[in-house]
Amino acid sequence: MKIGIVGAGFVGRAIAKLALRAGHEVMLSNSRSPNTLFSLKPMIGCEIGSSEEAVSFGDVVVLAIPMSAINGLPVKALQYKQVIDAMNYYPERDGIIEGLESNTLTTSELISRVIPTSHITKAFNAIPMTQLEQDGSPRGENNRRALPFAGNDEQGKKIVTQLYEEFGFEPFDVGSLSESWKFERGRPAYCVRMNKTTLEETIKNTMR
Ligand SMILES: NC(=O)c1ccc[n+]([C@@H]2O[C@H](COP(=O)([O-])OP(=O)(O)OC[C@H]3O[C@@H](n4cnc5c(N)ncnc54)[C@H](OP(=O)(O)O)[C@@H]3O)[C@@H](O)[C@H]2O)c1
């Protein structure tokens, strides 16, 4: 598939490398300009572009930017797109964001207010990128690491399931977008290595 990535930091680059390795086409973008990503093209083999171009390029768009930047997203280009939200809320970086502090909204629900027609699936947020690049293993391997995802769109869930499998992880469906708080920052399942059985048990026992 064609994957457009908004954000070319740790997350954007890690997902780009793994997706290219799995045979997908990728365009990376950042907030400055494609010129600042010039060396990435020969180094990892991706396309580079503006964030509008990356969104238009992708059948699937990965959001890999700080939460503080969501109001700068190319809203029009994102209409009706399949979107993977890999973001987390860190107030010390993003500033205080109403709704997220009071735990009344998940980060993905807040993003869905900015891009209401996009089909958002929350994924890739609960693993450090160094581990995403190193901890994958073949399907069927004993104790394979599981990663959570959540969303309201079946097609979005299929896409994430495929990518998790290709990157070497056991997909675990947590439920709807409103349940994605169960693996947001600071929750027991956040950035802790677990197999599918342990992850399922941990998510089941996670209280708000
Ligand atoms: N690092 C991890 O292991 C990890 C794991 C899971 C989830 N996350 C979450 O994923 C998100 C990205 O993390 P990161 O570690 O990759 O951050 P990072 O290394 O700081 O990279 C952020 C990227 O976002 C770009 N950006 C910022 N505002 C933008 C905008 N309005 N439009 C387009 N691009 C924009 C930046 O481009 P410029 O440099 O040009 O501004 C930069 O390329 C965060 O929400 C983080 O909490 C991180």
Give me ligand 1 centre to Cα 182, in Å.
Answer: 22
HSE of 181, CA atoms in CB hemisphere, 13 A? 16
The model's pTM is: 0.98
Give me ligand 1 centre to Cα 142, in Å.
Answer: 33
pLDDT at 122: 98
Check residue 73 and report its DSSP letter.
Answer: S
Whether residue 157 is predicted with pLDDT greater than 90 in this model: the reply is yes
Whether residue 59 is predicted with pLDDT greater than 90 in this model: the reply is yes
Q: What is the CA radius of gyration of the chain?
A: 16
- Specify the CATH number for the domain of residue 76: 3.40.50.720
pLDDT-derived band at 103 (thresholds 50, 70, 90) equals confident
Whether residue 208 is predicted with pLDDT greater than 90 in this model: the reply is no
What is the per-residue pLDDT across 118-140, written as a single tens digit (0 to 9) for each? 999 999 999 999 999 999 999 99
Atom of ligand 1 nearest to the CA of 185: 47
> Domain range holding 28?
2-205
Domain count, the chain: 1
Residues near ligand 1 with C-beta < 6 Å?
Answer: 6-12, 29-32, 51, 64-67, 69, 72, 86-88, 90, 125, 128-129
The percentage of residues in the chain with a pLDDT greater than 90, rounded to a whole number, is 96
User: Which residue has the CA at smallest separation from atom 10 of ligand 1?
Assistant: 87
pLDDT at 33: 95
Atom of ligand 1 nearest to the CA of 14: 16
Give me ligand 1 centre to Cα 65, in Å.
Answer: 3
Taking the C-alpha atoms of residue 64 and residue 110, their distance in angstroms, rounded to an integer, is: 15
Q: Give me the residue label for tokens 């598939």.
A: 1
Ligand 1: which of 13, 30, 129 to mutate, judged by most atoms within 8 Å of the beta carbon? 30
pLDDT at 118: 98
39 burial type by CB count under 10 A (0-12 exposed, 13-18 middle, 19+ buried): exposed
Give me ligand 1 centre to Cα 201, in Å.
Answer: 30
Give me ligand 1 centre to Cα 63, in Å.
Answer: 8
Closest CA to 84 of 14, 22, 9, 6: 6
